[in-house]
Structure 1
Amino acid sequence: MPDLTVIHATPRFVVIDKPAWLLSVPGIGPDKQDCVASRVRAMFPASRGPLIAHRLDMETSGLLVLGLDEDAQRNLSAQFENRAVAKRYVALLEGTPDAAEGTIELPLRLDVDNRPYQIVDFEQGRTSLTRFRVLASEPGRTRVEFEPLTGRTHQLRVHAAFSGDAFWPAREGKPPARSMAQPPPAPRVGLGRPIIGDVLYGRVRAERLMLHASELDFNDPGTGARVRLESGAPF
Protein backbone atom coordinates (compact mmCIF):
# COMPACT_ATOMS: atom_id res chain seq x y z
CA MET A 1 0.00 0.00 0.00
CA PRO A 2 1.51 3.41 -0.96
CA ASP A 3 2.37 5.91 1.76
CA LEU A 4 0.11 8.88 2.41
CA THR A 5 1.04 12.05 0.56
CA VAL A 6 0.61 15.22 2.61
CA ILE A 7 -0.79 17.98 0.39
CA HIS A 8 -1.12 20.71 3.03
CA ALA A 9 -0.45 20.78 6.77
CA THR A 10 -0.95 23.31 9.56
CA PRO A 11 -0.89 22.89 13.36
CA ARG A 12 -4.71 22.52 13.25
CA PHE A 13 -5.43 20.34 10.21
CA VAL A 14 -3.84 18.29 7.45
CA VAL A 15 -4.96 17.43 3.93
CA ILE A 16 -3.70 14.14 2.50
CA ASP A 17 -3.98 12.38 -0.85
CA LYS A 18 -5.50 8.97 -0.07
CA PRO A 19 -4.52 6.05 -2.30
CA ALA A 20 -7.20 3.70 -3.58
CA TRP A 21 -7.84 0.60 -1.40
CA LEU A 22 -6.99 2.32 1.90
CA LEU A 23 -9.78 2.67 4.46
CA SER A 24 -10.57 6.12 5.83
CA VAL A 25 -11.24 4.75 9.34
CA PRO A 26 -10.60 1.35 10.97
CA GLY A 27 -12.88 -1.51 10.07
CA ILE A 28 -13.84 -4.60 12.06
CA GLY A 29 -11.03 -7.11 12.54
CA PRO A 30 -7.25 -6.93 12.91
CA ASP A 31 -6.73 -6.89 9.13
CA LYS A 32 -8.74 -3.67 8.78
CA GLN A 33 -6.85 -1.42 11.20
CA ASP A 34 -4.55 0.16 8.63
CA CYS A 35 -6.36 3.32 7.56
CA VAL A 36 -5.98 7.05 6.96
CA ALA A 37 -6.82 7.91 10.58
CA SER A 38 -4.21 5.54 12.06
CA ARG A 39 -1.51 6.66 9.62
CA VAL A 40 -2.15 10.35 10.26
CA ARG A 41 -2.05 9.75 14.01
CA ALA A 42 1.35 8.08 13.59
CA MET A 43 2.60 10.92 11.35
CA PHE A 44 1.33 13.61 13.77
CA PRO A 45 1.76 12.08 17.27
CA ALA A 46 0.59 15.28 19.00
CA SER A 47 -2.80 15.04 17.28
CA ARG A 48 -5.84 14.26 19.40
CA GLY A 49 -9.53 13.55 18.92
CA PRO A 50 -11.26 11.59 16.14
CA LEU A 51 -9.35 13.41 13.34
CA ILE A 52 -11.68 12.36 10.49
CA ALA A 53 -14.12 15.04 9.27
CA HIS A 54 -15.36 13.14 6.18
CA ARG A 55 -14.65 9.88 4.38
CA LEU A 56 -13.91 8.42 0.99
CA ASP A 57 -14.88 4.91 -0.06
CA MET A 58 -11.98 2.48 0.27
CA GLU A 59 -11.83 2.13 -3.54
CA THR A 60 -11.74 5.91 -4.11
CA SER A 61 -8.54 7.96 -4.08
CA GLY A 62 -8.00 11.64 -3.46
CA LEU A 63 -8.15 14.51 -1.00
CA LEU A 64 -9.15 14.09 2.64
CA VAL A 65 -8.94 16.80 5.31
CA LEU A 66 -8.45 15.81 8.95
CA GLY A 67 -8.53 17.95 12.09
CA LEU A 68 -5.48 17.54 14.31
CA ASP A 69 -7.34 18.60 17.46
CA GLU A 70 -10.92 18.17 18.64
CA ASP A 71 -12.02 21.75 17.95
CA ALA A 72 -10.63 21.67 14.41
CA GLN A 73 -12.28 18.32 13.72
CA ARG A 74 -15.65 19.60 14.96
CA ASN A 75 -15.30 22.76 12.87
CA LEU A 76 -14.48 20.81 9.72
CA SER A 77 -17.24 18.25 10.33
CA ALA A 78 -19.75 21.09 10.73
CA GLN A 79 -18.61 22.60 7.44
CA PHE A 80 -19.31 19.32 5.65
CA GLU A 81 -22.66 18.92 7.42
CA ASN A 82 -23.68 22.48 6.52
CA ARG A 83 -22.50 22.08 2.91
CA ALA A 84 -19.90 24.80 3.29
CA VAL A 85 -17.25 22.63 1.61
CA ALA A 86 -16.94 22.53 -2.18
CA LYS A 87 -15.81 19.13 -3.49
CA ARG A 88 -15.03 17.95 -6.99
CA TYR A 89 -14.20 14.51 -8.30
CA VAL A 90 -12.86 13.16 -11.57
CA ALA A 91 -14.17 9.84 -12.90
CA LEU A 92 -13.86 7.63 -15.96
CA LEU A 93 -17.23 6.34 -17.13
CA GLU A 94 -18.20 3.39 -19.30
CA GLY A 95 -19.34 4.80 -22.65
CA THR A 96 -20.60 8.33 -23.30
CA PRO A 97 -23.39 10.15 -21.41
CA ASP A 98 -26.21 11.68 -23.44
CA ALA A 99 -25.57 15.15 -21.99
CA ALA A 100 -22.30 17.08 -21.75
CA GLU A 101 -23.29 18.73 -18.46
CA GLY A 102 -26.20 18.95 -16.08
CA THR A 103 -27.54 18.14 -12.62
CA ILE A 104 -28.61 14.76 -11.25
CA GLU A 105 -31.18 14.56 -8.45
CA LEU A 106 -32.17 11.16 -7.08
CA PRO A 107 -33.53 9.94 -3.70
CA LEU A 108 -31.24 7.27 -2.22
CA ARG A 109 -31.38 4.81 0.64
CA LEU A 110 -29.60 1.63 1.72
CA ASP A 111 -30.89 -1.60 0.19
CA VAL A 112 -31.19 -3.44 3.51
CA ASP A 113 -31.61 -6.81 1.78
CA ASN A 114 -28.56 -6.35 -0.43
CA ARG A 115 -25.90 -4.43 1.52
CA PRO A 116 -23.91 -2.32 0.74
CA TYR A 117 -25.92 -1.37 -2.35
CA GLN A 118 -27.73 1.95 -2.31
CA ILE A 119 -31.14 2.05 -3.94
CA VAL A 120 -33.14 4.75 -5.72
CA ASP A 121 -36.44 5.06 -3.84
CA PHE A 122 -38.81 7.84 -4.87
CA GLU A 123 -40.94 7.37 -1.72
CA GLN A 124 -38.46 6.86 1.13
CA GLY A 125 -35.07 7.88 -0.25
CA ARG A 126 -33.08 10.92 0.88
CA THR A 127 -32.41 13.65 -1.66
CA SER A 128 -29.02 13.53 -3.38
CA LEU A 129 -27.78 16.15 -5.82
CA THR A 130 -24.76 16.20 -8.14
CA ARG A 131 -23.57 18.55 -10.88
CA PHE A 132 -21.53 17.02 -13.70
CA ARG A 133 -19.70 18.03 -16.84
CA VAL A 134 -17.82 16.06 -19.48
CA LEU A 135 -14.09 16.81 -19.58
CA ALA A 136 -13.02 14.54 -22.44
CA SER A 137 -14.28 11.58 -24.47
CA GLU A 138 -12.61 8.71 -26.27
CA PRO A 139 -13.96 5.46 -27.70
CA GLY A 140 -15.64 3.46 -24.94
CA ARG A 141 -15.03 5.86 -22.06
CA THR A 142 -15.62 9.42 -20.89
CA ARG A 143 -13.80 11.56 -18.33
CA VAL A 144 -16.20 13.62 -16.25
CA GLU A 145 -16.08 16.03 -13.33
CA PHE A 146 -18.60 15.53 -10.54
CA GLU A 147 -19.53 18.18 -7.97
CA PRO A 148 -21.62 16.55 -5.22
CA LEU A 149 -23.91 19.01 -3.44
CA THR A 150 -24.97 16.37 -0.90
CA GLY A 151 -22.95 13.57 0.66
CA ARG A 152 -24.91 10.33 0.46
CA THR A 153 -23.20 6.94 0.54
CA HIS A 154 -22.12 5.86 -2.98
CA GLN A 155 -23.81 8.99 -4.34
CA LEU A 156 -21.52 9.52 -7.33
CA ARG A 157 -21.40 5.82 -8.15
CA VAL A 158 -25.20 5.56 -8.22
CA HIS A 159 -25.65 8.85 -10.08
CA ALA A 160 -23.24 7.64 -12.75
CA ALA A 161 -24.83 4.19 -13.08
CA PHE A 162 -28.58 4.68 -12.65
CA SER A 163 -30.44 4.61 -15.96
CA GLY A 164 -34.04 4.67 -14.74
CA ASP A 165 -34.78 0.96 -14.43
CA ALA A 166 -32.02 -1.22 -12.96
CA PHE A 167 -28.30 -1.34 -12.42
CA TRP A 168 -26.32 -4.03 -14.16
CA PRO A 169 -25.57 -6.98 -11.86
CA ALA A 170 -21.93 -6.82 -10.92
CA ARG A 171 -21.27 -9.95 -8.88
CA GLU A 172 -22.36 -13.53 -9.43
CA GLY A 173 -25.32 -14.41 -7.25
CA LYS A 174 -26.13 -10.76 -6.54
CA PRO A 175 -29.26 -9.24 -8.06
CA PRO A 176 -29.00 -5.79 -9.63
CA ALA A 177 -29.95 -2.87 -7.41
CA ARG A 178 -33.28 -1.47 -8.56
CA SER A 179 -35.37 1.63 -8.14
CA MET A 180 -38.35 1.31 -5.81
CA ALA A 181 -41.81 2.76 -6.34
CA GLN A 182 -42.85 4.81 -9.34
CA PRO A 183 -40.80 7.85 -10.32
CA PRO A 184 -42.51 11.23 -10.60
CA PRO A 185 -44.07 12.28 -13.93
CA ALA A 186 -40.86 14.06 -14.97
CA PRO A 187 -38.31 11.21 -15.04
CA ARG A 188 -35.24 11.59 -12.86
CA VAL A 189 -32.35 9.42 -13.92
CA GLY A 190 -28.60 9.25 -13.65
CA LEU A 191 -26.12 9.06 -16.48
CA GLY A 192 -26.62 5.37 -17.18
CA ARG A 193 -22.83 5.11 -17.52
CA PRO A 194 -21.21 3.38 -14.53
CA ILE A 195 -17.76 4.33 -13.30
CA ILE A 196 -15.11 2.01 -14.72
CA GLY A 197 -13.96 -0.49 -12.10
CA ASP A 198 -17.14 -0.25 -10.00
CA VAL A 199 -17.76 -3.82 -8.82
CA LEU A 200 -21.11 -2.88 -7.25
CA TYR A 201 -22.86 -0.88 -9.97
CA GLY A 202 -20.74 -1.37 -13.09
CA ARG A 203 -19.70 -3.87 -15.72
CA VAL A 204 -16.18 -2.97 -16.85
CA ARG A 205 -13.50 -4.38 -14.55
CA ALA A 206 -10.31 -2.49 -13.79
CA GLU A 207 -7.47 -2.53 -11.29
CA ARG A 208 -9.34 0.09 -9.24
CA LEU A 209 -12.43 2.27 -9.14
CA MET A 210 -11.77 5.16 -11.52
CA LEU A 211 -12.98 7.84 -9.10
CA HIS A 212 -10.69 10.48 -7.56
CA ALA A 213 -11.45 13.33 -5.14
CA SER A 214 -9.63 16.05 -7.04
CA GLU A 215 -10.55 19.30 -5.27
CA LEU A 216 -11.45 20.55 -1.78
CA ASP A 217 -12.46 24.12 -0.93
CA PHE A 218 -13.13 24.85 2.77
CA ASN A 219 -12.54 27.32 5.60
CA ASP A 220 -9.39 27.05 7.68
CA PRO A 221 -10.74 26.03 11.13
CA GLY A 222 -8.20 28.28 12.82
CA THR A 223 -8.20 31.49 10.77
CA GLY A 224 -11.42 31.23 8.77
CA ALA A 225 -9.52 31.89 5.53
CA ARG A 226 -10.69 29.97 2.49
CA VAL A 227 -8.43 27.05 1.50
CA ARG A 228 -8.57 25.51 -1.98
CA LEU A 229 -6.49 22.44 -2.82
CA GLU A 230 -6.24 20.21 -5.88
CA SER A 231 -4.94 16.73 -6.72
CA GLY A 232 -4.57 15.31 -10.21
CA ALA A 233 -6.33 12.03 -10.94
CA PRO A 234 -3.83 9.12 -11.20
CA PHE A 235 -5.67 7.62 -14.20
Structure 2
Amino acid sequence: MAKPRLVLPGADYAPPAGPVHLLHVDDSLVVVNKPSGLLCVPGKGPALSDCLIGRLRALFPDILLVHRLDRDTSGVMVFARNRRAQRHLGRQFEKRRVEKTYVARIAGRPGLSSGRIDLPMIADLSDRPRQKICLATGRAAQTAWRVLAADHGSSLVRLHPATGRSHQLRLHMRALGHPILGDPLYATGAAAGAPRLMLHAQSLGFRHPDGGAPCEFSRPAPF
Protein backbone atom coordinates (compact mmCIF):
# COMPACT_ATOMS: atom_id res chain seq x y z
CA MET A 1 0.00 0.00 0.00
CA ALA A 2 1.33 3.42 -0.96
CA LYS A 3 2.22 5.69 1.91
CA PRO A 4 0.12 8.86 2.23
CA ARG A 5 1.85 11.90 0.82
CA LEU A 6 3.01 14.37 3.46
CA VAL A 7 1.80 17.88 2.66
CA LEU A 8 3.79 20.50 4.54
CA PRO A 9 1.99 23.59 5.91
CA GLY A 10 2.16 26.35 3.33
CA ALA A 11 3.25 24.07 0.48
CA ASP A 12 0.62 25.65 -1.79
CA TYR A 13 1.10 29.21 -0.53
CA ALA A 14 2.28 31.52 -3.29
CA PRO A 15 1.39 35.09 -2.27
CA PRO A 16 1.43 37.82 -4.92
CA ALA A 17 4.58 39.88 -5.18
CA GLY A 18 4.78 43.65 -5.43
CA PRO A 19 4.46 46.65 -3.12
CA VAL A 20 1.56 47.18 -0.74
CA HIS A 21 -1.18 49.33 -2.28
CA LEU A 22 -1.60 52.18 0.21
CA LEU A 23 -4.88 54.12 0.14
CA HIS A 24 -4.32 56.44 3.11
CA VAL A 25 -1.64 57.12 5.72
CA ASP A 26 -1.69 59.45 8.75
CA ASP A 27 -0.33 59.47 12.30
CA SER A 28 -3.05 57.11 13.60
CA LEU A 29 -3.92 54.71 10.80
CA VAL A 30 -2.97 53.12 7.51
CA VAL A 31 -5.56 52.00 4.94
CA VAL A 32 -4.57 49.50 2.25
CA ASN A 33 -6.04 47.52 -0.61
CA LYS A 34 -5.15 43.91 0.24
CA PRO A 35 -4.52 41.58 -2.72
CA SER A 36 -6.12 38.17 -2.99
CA GLY A 37 -3.82 35.33 -1.96
CA LEU A 38 -1.91 37.16 0.80
CA LEU A 39 -2.33 36.29 4.47
CA CYS A 40 -3.13 39.17 6.83
CA VAL A 41 -0.92 37.74 9.59
CA PRO A 42 1.73 35.00 9.48
CA GLY A 43 0.68 31.36 9.62
CA LYS A 44 2.50 28.50 11.28
CA GLY A 45 5.98 27.82 9.92
CA PRO A 46 8.40 29.75 7.71
CA ALA A 47 6.49 28.89 4.52
CA LEU A 48 3.59 31.01 5.77
CA SER A 49 5.62 33.91 7.14
CA ASP A 50 5.01 36.34 4.27
CA CYS A 51 1.92 38.37 5.14
CA LEU A 52 0.35 41.80 4.82
CA ILE A 53 1.18 43.05 8.30
CA GLY A 54 4.77 41.88 7.89
CA ARG A 55 5.14 43.84 4.66
CA LEU A 56 3.55 46.88 6.29
CA ARG A 57 5.94 46.72 9.25
CA ALA A 58 8.81 47.20 6.83
CA LEU A 59 7.24 50.60 6.05
CA PHE A 60 5.57 51.40 9.37
CA PRO A 61 7.25 49.67 12.36
CA ASP A 62 4.41 50.83 14.64
CA ILE A 63 1.62 49.10 12.65
CA LEU A 64 -1.05 47.23 14.65
CA LEU A 65 -3.78 44.81 13.54
CA VAL A 66 -7.43 45.89 13.84
CA HIS A 67 -9.37 43.30 11.78
CA ARG A 68 -8.74 40.59 9.18
CA LEU A 69 -9.77 39.38 5.75
CA ASP A 70 -9.48 35.79 4.57
CA ARG A 71 -6.30 35.03 2.64
CA ASP A 72 -8.11 34.81 -0.70
CA THR A 73 -10.36 37.85 -0.14
CA SER A 74 -9.11 41.15 -1.53
CA GLY A 75 -10.05 44.66 -0.56
CA VAL A 76 -9.94 47.55 1.88
CA MET A 77 -8.37 47.08 5.33
CA VAL A 78 -7.47 49.54 8.09
CA PHE A 79 -4.50 49.21 10.47
CA ALA A 80 -3.72 51.31 13.55
CA ARG A 81 -0.42 53.03 14.30
CA ASN A 82 -0.78 53.28 18.07
CA ARG A 83 -2.60 51.46 20.87
CA ARG A 84 -5.18 54.21 21.36
CA ALA A 85 -6.19 54.13 17.71
CA GLN A 86 -6.27 50.32 17.79
CA ARG A 87 -8.66 50.36 20.78
CA HIS A 88 -10.85 53.05 19.22
CA LEU A 89 -11.17 51.22 15.90
CA GLY A 90 -11.55 47.85 17.61
CA ARG A 91 -14.53 49.13 19.61
CA GLN A 92 -16.20 50.33 16.43
CA PHE A 93 -15.89 46.85 14.90
CA GLU A 94 -17.07 45.23 18.13
CA LYS A 95 -20.14 47.49 18.40
CA ARG A 96 -20.93 47.03 14.67
CA ARG A 97 -20.46 50.70 13.88
CA VAL A 98 -18.18 50.06 10.90
CA GLU A 99 -19.90 50.14 7.50
CA LYS A 100 -18.60 47.22 5.45
CA THR A 101 -19.53 46.63 1.82
CA TYR A 102 -18.37 43.64 -0.19
CA VAL A 103 -18.80 42.64 -3.81
CA ALA A 104 -18.89 39.01 -4.91
CA ARG A 105 -19.53 37.04 -8.06
CA ILE A 106 -21.75 34.07 -7.30
CA ALA A 107 -22.82 31.01 -9.24
CA GLY A 108 -26.19 31.28 -10.99
CA ARG A 109 -28.88 33.90 -10.53
CA PRO A 110 -31.02 34.21 -7.37
CA GLY A 111 -34.78 34.20 -7.82
CA LEU A 112 -35.05 37.55 -6.00
CA SER A 113 -33.12 40.77 -6.59
CA SER A 114 -32.29 41.25 -2.91
CA GLY A 115 -32.73 39.71 0.49
CA ARG A 116 -31.40 39.14 3.98
CA ILE A 117 -29.86 35.94 5.35
CA ASP A 118 -30.19 35.29 9.06
CA LEU A 119 -28.51 31.95 9.77
CA PRO A 120 -26.38 31.31 12.87
CA MET A 121 -22.94 29.79 12.38
CA ILE A 122 -20.48 27.64 14.27
CA ALA A 123 -17.07 26.12 13.53
CA ASP A 124 -17.26 22.66 11.96
CA LEU A 125 -14.95 20.86 14.38
CA SER A 126 -14.91 17.73 12.23
CA ASP A 127 -13.86 19.59 9.09
CA ARG A 128 -11.68 22.59 9.95
CA PRO A 129 -11.36 25.35 8.83
CA ARG A 130 -14.91 25.15 7.50
CA GLN A 131 -17.85 26.71 9.30
CA LYS A 132 -21.42 25.39 9.28
CA ILE A 133 -24.96 26.58 9.85
CA CYS A 134 -26.28 25.53 13.25
CA LEU A 135 -29.68 26.77 14.38
CA ALA A 136 -29.27 25.26 17.85
CA THR A 137 -25.86 26.48 18.99
CA GLY A 138 -24.54 28.78 16.26
CA ARG A 139 -23.67 32.43 16.81
CA ALA A 140 -25.95 35.02 15.22
CA ALA A 141 -24.96 35.97 11.66
CA GLN A 142 -26.83 38.29 9.28
CA THR A 143 -26.04 39.33 5.73
CA ALA A 144 -27.98 41.65 3.42
CA TRP A 145 -27.49 41.07 -0.31
CA ARG A 146 -28.48 42.70 -3.59
CA VAL A 147 -27.94 41.66 -7.20
CA LEU A 148 -26.04 44.27 -9.20
CA ALA A 149 -25.79 42.44 -12.51
CA ALA A 150 -26.36 38.95 -13.87
CA ASP A 151 -25.62 36.85 -16.94
CA HIS A 152 -26.51 33.29 -17.84
CA GLY A 153 -23.99 31.69 -15.50
CA SER A 154 -23.23 34.06 -12.63
CA SER A 155 -24.33 37.18 -10.77
CA LEU A 156 -22.49 40.14 -9.30
CA VAL A 157 -23.87 40.92 -5.83
CA ARG A 158 -23.31 43.55 -3.15
CA LEU A 159 -23.08 42.17 0.38
CA HIS A 160 -23.53 43.98 3.70
CA PRO A 161 -22.62 41.82 6.71
CA ALA A 162 -24.27 43.01 9.93
CA THR A 163 -22.03 40.62 11.86
CA GLY A 164 -18.44 39.56 11.28
CA ARG A 165 -18.28 35.78 11.62
CA SER A 166 -15.46 33.81 10.06
CA HIS A 167 -16.40 32.80 6.49
CA GLN A 168 -19.82 34.42 6.98
CA LEU A 169 -20.33 35.70 3.44
CA ARG A 170 -18.94 32.54 1.89
CA LEU A 171 -21.16 30.24 3.94
CA HIS A 172 -24.27 32.42 3.62
CA MET A 173 -23.97 32.55 -0.16
CA ARG A 174 -23.70 28.77 -0.30
CA ALA A 175 -26.73 28.49 2.00
CA LEU A 176 -28.59 30.72 -0.46
CA GLY A 177 -27.76 28.15 -3.14
CA HIS A 178 -25.31 30.41 -4.97
CA PRO A 179 -21.73 29.91 -3.71
CA ILE A 180 -19.06 32.49 -4.43
CA LEU A 181 -17.06 31.56 -7.50
CA GLY A 182 -13.57 30.25 -6.82
CA ASP A 183 -14.31 29.33 -3.21
CA PRO A 184 -12.16 26.28 -2.39
CA LEU A 185 -14.17 25.47 0.77
CA TYR A 186 -17.81 26.07 -0.08
CA ALA A 187 -18.12 25.87 -3.88
CA THR A 188 -18.12 22.66 -5.92
CA GLY A 189 -17.89 21.72 -9.57
CA ALA A 190 -17.57 24.52 -12.09
CA ALA A 191 -18.18 27.16 -9.42
CA ALA A 192 -14.96 26.16 -7.67
CA GLY A 193 -12.90 26.52 -10.85
CA ALA A 194 -12.56 30.32 -10.97
CA PRO A 195 -8.96 31.61 -10.88
CA ARG A 196 -9.48 33.22 -7.45
CA LEU A 197 -12.10 33.65 -4.73
CA MET A 198 -14.43 36.23 -6.25
CA LEU A 199 -14.94 38.19 -3.02
CA HIS A 200 -13.74 41.76 -2.51
CA ALA A 201 -14.09 44.17 0.44
CA GLN A 202 -15.11 47.18 -1.62
CA SER A 203 -15.52 49.86 1.05
CA LEU A 204 -14.96 50.52 4.73
CA GLY A 205 -16.54 53.38 6.68
CA PHE A 206 -15.68 54.32 10.27
CA ARG A 207 -14.98 57.22 12.63
CA HIS A 208 -11.41 58.48 12.67
CA PRO A 209 -9.75 57.74 16.05
CA ASP A 210 -8.53 61.34 16.21
CA GLY A 211 -11.59 63.56 16.54
CA GLY A 212 -14.23 61.14 15.28
CA ALA A 213 -14.63 62.52 11.76
CA PRO A 214 -16.41 60.07 9.42
CA CYS A 215 -14.05 58.32 6.98
CA GLU A 216 -14.80 56.06 4.03
CA PHE A 217 -12.32 54.31 1.77
CA SER A 218 -13.14 52.19 -1.27
CA ARG A 219 -11.62 50.31 -4.16
CA PRO A 220 -13.56 48.71 -7.02
CA ALA A 221 -13.57 44.95 -7.37
CA PRO A 222 -10.94 43.60 -9.78
CA PHE A 223 -13.37 41.09 -11.33
TM over 0.5: yes
Aligned residue type for 1:89: Y
Correspondence 1:226 to 2:211: no
Q: Deviations over 1:57-84 (max 9, x none)?
A: 0010000100011111111111101101
2:78 aligned partner: 65
Q: How does 1:147-166 map to 2 (within 5 A)?
A: 147-162=160-175
Q: How does 1:193-204 map to 2 (within 5 A)?
A: 193-203=178-188, 204=191
| Unmatched tracts of structure 1, length 5 or more | 163-190
Aligned residue type for 1:31: A
| Unmatched tracts of structure 2, length 5 or more | 1-15
Q: Deviations over 1:79-106 (max 9, x none)?
A: 1011010000000000001211111100
Correspondence 1:102 to 2:115: yes
Shift of 1:42: 0.9
CA distance in 1 between counterparts of 2:67 and 2:157 reads 22
Shift of 1:3: 2.4
Shift of 1:32: 1.1
Q: CA RMSD in A?
A: 0.9
Identity %: 45
Correspondence 1:23 to 2:39: yes
Say which SS state the counterpart of residue 43 (structure 1) adopts.
coil
Shift of 1:222: 1.2
Shift of 1:31: 1.3
Q: How does 1:32-43 map to 2 (within 5 A)?
A: 32-43=48-59
Q: Deviations over 1:164-190 (max 9, x none)?
A: xxxxxxxxxxxxxxxxxxxxxxxxxxx
CA distance in 1 between counterparts of 2:115 and 2:74 reads 24
TM-score normalised per structure 2: 0.89
Matched positions, count: 204
- Greater displacement, 124-133 / 36-45: 36-45
Aligned residue type for 2:187: G
CA distance in 2 between counterparts of 1:201 and 1:159 reads 10
Q: How does 1:1-235 map to 2 (within 5 A)?
A: 1=16, 2-45=18-61, 47=62, 51-162=64-175, 191-203=176-188, 204=191, 205-235=193-223
Aligned residue type for 2:110: P
Shift of 1:206: 1.3
Q: Deviations over 1:2-47 (max 9, x none)?
A: 32100111110011000001001111101111111111111113x1
